[in-house]
Structure 1
Amino acid sequence: MAARVTLYSRPDCHLCEVAEEIVAAVCAELGESYEVVLIDDDPELQRRFTDEVPVTFVDGRQHDFWRVDADRLRAALRGG
């Protein structure tokens, strides 16, 4: 099963760490999966997201960047 949430991140990024905690908690609560993609491993992702990490995608569409709002993420995963 493919992850519904993708978090584009960087190592040693405080905002990324906070975002992953929120994503992990919301996904666990709703029984959803997520994946973390480190942008520094891919030059194209680095070019695309370098100034916006963390960036979250839900169902393949960009959802947020810099900060993750748990209520907004919950609503997106519930289809609302």
Structure 2
Amino acid sequence: MVKLTLYINDNCELCDEALQSIELVRQDVDLLLDVVSIVKDDELQKKYMLEVPVLFIDGEQKFQGHITYGELLETLLDE
């Protein structure tokens, strides 16, 4: 099973789109998703504030910003 960690911020349209893409991919790939809000964590805000959404796949950062279904599915199938 592939583990995804998605860092998001509140009121973030790109974050919402990323979540939608991940949910679509979830229909095709067995994965575990951990969604982490950076809102209440100062360190995460410093690190990711201008980059969210940020997606890690099995502990390695693979995406930041726009995440599409096609790109994510292709990346996961190549893993």
Percent of residue pairs bearing the same amino acid type: 33
Gaps of 5+ in 2: none
Match for residue 52 of structure 1? 51
Aligned to 1:40, the other structure's residue is in SS state: coil
Q: Aligned equivalents of 1:28 and 1:60: distance in 2? A: 21
Aligned pairs, how many? 79
Task: Report the alpha carbon displacement of residue 12 of structure 1 after superposing the two structures with TM.
Answer: 0.9
Aligned to 2:28, what secondary structure does the other structure show?
helix
Tell me which residue corresponds to 1:68: 67
Report the CA distance between 1:11 and its aligned residue: 1.2
Q: Which structure features the higher share of strand residues?
A: 2
Counterpart contact for 1:58–1:76, Cα < 8 Å: no
Superposition RMSD on alpha carbons, in Å? 1.7
- Secondary structure of the structure 1 residue equivalent to 2:21: helix
Q: Give the whole-Å Cα distance in 1 for the aligned partners of 2:44 and 2:27.
A: 26
What is the rounded CA distance, in whole Å, between the counterparts of 2:75 and 2:35 in structure 1? 18
Unaligned runs of 5+ in 1: none
Runs of 4+ in 1 over 6 A off after TM superposition: none
Structure with bigger helix share is: 1
Partner of 2:29: 30
User: Please, what TM-score do these two structures have when normalized by structure 2?
Assistant: 0.86
Residue 47 of structure 1 aligns to a residue whose secondary structure is helix
